[in-house]
A and B are shown apart, each in its own frame.
Chain A
Amino acid sequence: MVVFEPKIVMFCCNWCSYAGADLAGVGRLQYPTNTRVIRVMCSSRIQPTFILQALKDGADGVLVTGCHIGDCHYIDGNVYTEERMGNVVDAMKLLGLEGRVHLEWVSASEGPKFKETVTEFVEQIRALGPSPLRAE
């Protein structure tokens, strides 16, 4: 039996979640290999079209991460991320792609949370199966 291995695009902000990922590495915290990280300076750089493009390109899920509210390196950039991603998550429901886009805050000191976030999202997508947008 072939096990379905989800392909997941992950967006990390330079200051918190990317550093959280680095910390997970330094701590040798093991997590599934399914994610591919794209670094941006702030999660607020992530425009909804990037999510759509990743899904259209065949990603089974998109995980957006940033600093906790109040911790943003750019003061309140993540407030706009929350607003935009909230809209994207809602739109996913309408498009039959519910559960494939997720927003999570991971600070630079939260290596374990980074690991958990990735592990849980991979399992969530594994349960959902391949994206209907994926060409077979």
Chain B
Amino acid sequence: MVCDCGINIASVVDVPAVVEYVNTLPHVVHAYEQTYACSTDSLDNIKDVIKEHNLNRVVVASCTPRTHEPLFQDTCRDAGLNPYLFELANIREHCSWVHQQEPELATEKAKDIVRMSVARVALLDPLYTQKLDFNHGGVVIGGGVAGMTAALDIAEKGFTTYLIEREPELGGLLRTFTRLQDGRTTSEILDPMIAAVNSNPNLTVYTGTTLDEVEGAMGRFKGKLSNGEEIEFGSAIIATGANEFEPEGYFGYGSDNVITQSALEVKLDEGTVDAANVVMIQCAGGRNDEMPYCSRVCCTTAMKNAIRLKEEDPERNIYVLYRDIRTYGVWEELYTRARELGVLFMRYTEDDEPVVADGTVTITDKLLNDTKFEIATDIVVLSAPLVAPEGAEDTAMLFKVPVDSNKFFLEAHIKLRPVDFATDGVFLAGSAQAPKLVDESISQASAAASRACSILAKEQLETSGVISVVDEDVCIGCGRCVEVYPYGAPELKEVEIVTEEITYMTRKSEIDPAICKGCGSCAAECPTSAITSRHFTTKQISAVIDAFAFTDGSIEEVA
């Protein structure tokens, strides 16, 4: 069936001519035109036509399979046809829309596209999905706010959950700070959370423990802990957090009275800040060539602590030396409050940084025509960026998920799949992805838990029909497929071969249908063509190439 898509296709491509042409192609028993292929009437019509002509393959020439293939596949299924016996020929995005000034050539191209699709559909095989039992447990790596929230969410839905924290205590990064930006103490958040985690009957907590080995895939992960225990789980959440950077080598860090924001918070809690003058320096070690990213949370942290210092002693002078202030969202209020309280803000640039020496900070203020100031200070507080913790890459390797150049975990899609990894069944929460405030970590952790539960709550897992399979008789066990495969679906297995003459052991590749995603890389790599990439077999693709050139493969017939 060839679609007009209203005027989207028909205003450029001569659709009746394409239909007439398609009727002459081999295998085609019926071709017709539709104004809108995807309308409900049209879909019903497709079902009728399938039944009337007893069709065993269907091609719709219309738009992109990326959006419309599932719709037409469901229609075929409804008519009793295996959905994989359908092919969409894209004559809109790839033809009428991009060749608007060349209707004749576009019509010829549309004919070619449909011809290639017909050649392909003729060789398509019916494919079937498999239903597999799986493990309904969840594992969360990292016992900070994000990890605990995610683990609690999963456990509260009734699933067995393991929470793994490598430090001896739960709490993560938040334990190094004492107050939240809204004024509450961090223990107001942490204490009830830790108590809930420790008392949930579905939740097993491992502290001082790491996850050292992982094998399997979504639904059937197996992991080994550093204490020797083995756990099985269906889905995993990575919430390994971040650490405050030790700004060694920046602004005299390490000398007396040059401290970080977290150290200042501890002093504030102890009431031991004995200082009439305080200088804070933002972006200490951040937003440079080594760490090019903005750490997002440090400006808000600086506001929070500047306000505390002022409230403790309004006579105190507080100077915040910054490059850009980014107290995004509602925390802009803290910036306003700090200024109301008399905190002074002075701007510097990366190529003209303040200098800290002997209790004096020298800064060239960019907002006051490069006026140079020397500030006598009792304490210098450095706002250091959050950095990915040691070992983030090891966790990434365990689950075969990516990290970015700063070793933060990289989601599958920043907008469409913000808590997913490309690897099925593995999700992401908290500062492991990028520096986050507590409220953001909590909402993301709940999102990740909900994504994990959407898998764990299924009765059975359904595998895709588009996967690769190995012909054991042809496989020579060379292992090239195992090398190229990103998810570890092919594995070499020891197999005993029994023939009339001898019995021997050899290696054969075996692809786990639950892991395989059907990329076909292994099929392209296989030197003996033992691997069939279903729905994209060598035979099917070859047929399309031949159809491109009007040939059965012999040079003589090239037009």
Contact = CB atoms under 8 A, between A and B. Distances in A.
A44 B523 CA distance: 9
Contacts of A135: 555-556, 558
Interface residues of B, number: 53
A54 B551 CA distance: 11
B513 interface: no
A31 B100 CA distance: 9
B98 A41 contact: no
Contacts of A113: none
Which of the listed residues A14, A74, A133 has the most CB atoms from chain B within 10 Å of its own CB? A74
A62 to B, nearest CB: 9
Max chain A C-beta neighbours (<10 A), residue from B112, B422, B466, B487 = B422
Contacts of B100: 28, 30
B189 to A, nearest CB: 36
Given A38-B116, A42-B521, A45-B536, A77 B486 contact: yes
A57 B548 contact: yes
Contacts of A104: none
Contact of A53 (B66, B101, B542): B542
Given A33-B102, A45-B521, A53-B542, A22 B484 contact: no
Interface in A7-28: 7, 9, 14, 18-19, 21-22, 24-26, 28
Interface string B89-108: 01011110111111001101
Contacts of A31: 98-99
B517 interface: yes
A76 interface: yes
Given A38-B116, A57-B545, A75 B422 contact: yes
A106 interface: no
Interface string B517-559: 1111101110000000100101001101110110101011011
Contact of B94 (A25, A40, A45, A73): A25
A58 B558 contact: yes
B488 to A, nearest CB: 11
Contacts, number: 147
A36 B116 contact: yes
Contacts of B97: 25-26, 28
Given A36-B112, A36-B113, A14 B66 contact: yes
Nearest to B106: A33
Nearest to B108: A33
Interface string A87-111: 0000000000000000000000000
B226 interface: no
B486 to A, nearest CB: 4
Nearest to B520: A45
Nearest to A37: B94
Contacts of B487: 74-75
B486 A75 contact: yes
B94 A50 contact: no
B109 interface: yes
Contacts of A70: 402
B524 A84 contact: yes
Given A25-B98, A39-B65, A75-B486, A50 B519 contact: no
A57 B550 CA distance: 8
A54 to B, nearest CB: 5
A59 B558 CA distance: 10
A9 B521 contact: no
A77 B533 CA distance: 14
Contacts of B551: 57-58
Interface in B398-414: 400, 402
Given A21-B94, A36-B112, A9 B545 contact: yes
B304 to A, nearest CB: 36
A74 B519 contact: yes
Given A9-B548, A40-B541, A33 B109 contact: yes
A44 B116 contact: no
B39 interface: no
A68 B205 CA distance: 40
A57 B99 contact: no
Contacts of A9: 545, 548
B214 to A, nearest CB: 16
B98 A44 contact: no
Interface in B307-338: none
Contact of B548 (A26, A40, A49, A59): A59
A47 interface: yes
11 contacts: A21-B93, A22-B66, A37-B94, A41-B466, A41-B519, A47-B525, A47-B538, A50-B545, A57-B551, A74-B517, A75-B422
Given A42-B521, A57-B558, A74-B517, 12 more contacts: A9-B548, A18-B66, A25-B98, A28-B97, A33-B105, A45-B533, A47-B525, A50-B542, A58-B551, A70-B402, A133-B555, A134-B558
Interface of B: 64-66, 90, 92-95, 97-102, 105-106, 108-109, 112-113, 116, 400, 402, 422-423, 466, 484, 486-487, 517-521, 523-525, 533, 536, 538, 541-542, 544-546, 548-549, 551, 553, 555-556, 558-559
Interface of A: 7, 9, 14, 18-19, 21-22, 24-26, 28-31, 33, 36-42, 44-47, 49-50, 53-54, 56-59, 70, 72-77, 80, 84, 115, 133-135
